Amino acid sequence: MAYPTGTLRARSIVLAVALVTLSAFILSGCTSLRVNTHTTAVEGKPAGDAPTNIVFLIGDGMGVSHVTAAKIELGTLHMERLTAGGFITTFAGNRLVTDSAASGTAFATGHKTYNGAISVSPDKEPLKTVLEYAEERGLATGLVATCSITHATPAVFAAHVENRQNEKEIARQMTASGVDVLFGGGWSYFLPNSEPGGARTDGLNLLDELRERMPVALTVTEFRSLPDTDAAVALFYPGHPPTVASREPSLAELTRRALEILSRDEDGFFVMIEGSQIDWAGHENDHDWLMDEMADFDEAVGVVMDFAETDGRTLVIVTADHETGAYSVLDGSLERNLVTRPDFGSGDHSAAMVPVLAYGPGSAAFGGMQDNTDLGRTLIGYVNRGSSR
């Protein structure tokens, strides 16, 4: 993938790093670090006006150095358009280093749990999610990902299972959840094995069940031909989509269509949008792939920011569920927009804090340093509080 060329002033890099580090404290102040292990329902304390819409973007595995490298190679990021920021701690309930299931559960429910859990407590009891609170309030809801829609991060918002590997049960619960937009991969988990490519052994055809409520697209052509609608499913691959180099549609295109659909609901909406394969590139210690996925994710952030800046009632949050790769930037060239010495200290997740950036009504609540459960409780608080229109 070709990136912009030209000379960058060193100050632009300093500003980029400041956006995800020191400026968080200057802009919004620092809160005390809290690691929450409760399982009782507690809302966060929203600051300022409540938003009508919430767009929650997760760059899976995206740490501060991932953002720094993308800033160097891309020049200007859409993430720079967000105006508040800070740090998130990501620890799981049973491990210092989290997986996406436990960290996603913290975001979705405001509670710590064990690695592998999909929105269930350490005692394996269901934990109500922000998407379920949004459905209860009559908001439109959506999940968009560049992985199978039944994978851990999207799953935690619409399902409750003891083990993230149980993707067929996750698909069944997603189908019953009432979610209005499902965009990603993973159609095999929705089809019986009597159908070509189907993975289900219980005979259920969940795609037919979904078709009773909304249009279902399984190809790019069908997706781009979706009618004006209040809800839609688009699952383009039987499992995970390929890497961004051969993946279509882009996350930005999926995001734009999701916003068009969800914004038809006058009560507002909640949507989670994940750049899933940033994490996978980190696991593979592949810098070029990582930068491609960061560019794809940042373009989706740009689509959201265009919408939010025009709308004026939309809260945008950009963060990560954890850091992957113990990644760092050791050298590069500002003149050539190039990282020349990327370094990976691990092929797995790390316990490093991750950046959180926010824009719009309520964004001040995400400044400073907090735990992932704090962020989740604040999201739930905003959904339950609603906005006076």
Q: How far apart are CA 149 and CA 154, in angstroms?
A: 6
Q: How far is CA 251 from CA 98, 220, 243, 292, in A?
A: 25, 13, 11, 12
DSSP 36-51: ----S-------SSPP
- The amino acid at residue 133 is Y
**Residue pointed to by tokens 């930037």:** 329
14: which 2 tokens?
A: 């300093």
Measured distance CA(274)–CA(57) in Å, rounded = 6
The answer to whether the CB of 237 falls within 8 A of the CB of 220 is: no
Cis check for the bond before 249: say yes or no (omega within 30 of 0). yes
Decide: 153 and 193 in contact? Cβ < 8 Å.
Answer: no
CA angle, corner 83, sides to 96 and 302, nearest 5? 90
Identity (one letter) of the amino acid at 97? V
Give dist(CA 87, CA 30) in Å, integer. 10
Are 1 and 89 within 8 A, CB to CB? no
**Residues recognised as catalytic:** 100
Buried b / exposed e across 296-330, counting CB within 10 Å, b at 16+?
Answer: bbbbbbbbbbebbeeeeebbbbbbbbbbbbbbbbe
- Cβ 345 vs Cβ 354: under 8 Å: no
The Cβ-side half-sphere exposure at 212, using a 13 Å CA radius, reads 7
End-to-end, the C-alpha distance of the chain in Å comes to: 43
